Amino acid sequence: MTLATLSDVLQPALAGRYAVGGLVTLGWEDMRAFAMAAESIGAPVILQAGPSCRAHTPLPVLGAMFRSLAESVSVPVVAHLDHGYTFDECQQALDAGFTSVMYDGSRKPLAQNINETARVAELAHAAGVSCEGEIGFVGYDGGEGSAGTDPAEAAQFAHDTGIDAMAISVGNVHLQQHRQGGLDVARIAAIQALTPVALVIHGGSGVPVAQRTQLATTTNICKFNIGTELRMAFGAALRAAVNADPARFDRVQILRETHDPVVAAAQRVLAALGAPDLRCAT
- With beta carbons less than 8 A apart as the criterion, state whether 101 and 84 touch: yes
Q: What is the Cα–Cα distance from 185 to 187, expressed in whole angstroms?
A: 5
- In angstroms, rounded to a whole number, what is the distance separating the alpha carbons of residues 172 and 137? 10
Distance CA 44, CA 9 (A): 7
- Catalytic-labelled residue, pool 82, 104, 150, 164: 82
User: What is the spatial distance between Cα 221 and Cα 266, in angstroms, rounded to a whole number?
Assistant: 19
Clarify whether 95 is annotated catalytic.
no
* Among the listed residues 131, 4, 7, 9, the one whose alpha carbon sits nearest the alpha carbon of residue 70: 4
Q: How far is CA 197 from CA 11, 40, 164, 200, in A?
A: 9, 29, 7, 10
In whole angstroms, give the CA distance from residue 184 to residue 60: 38
Q: Where in the sequence numbering do the catalytic residues fall?
A: 82
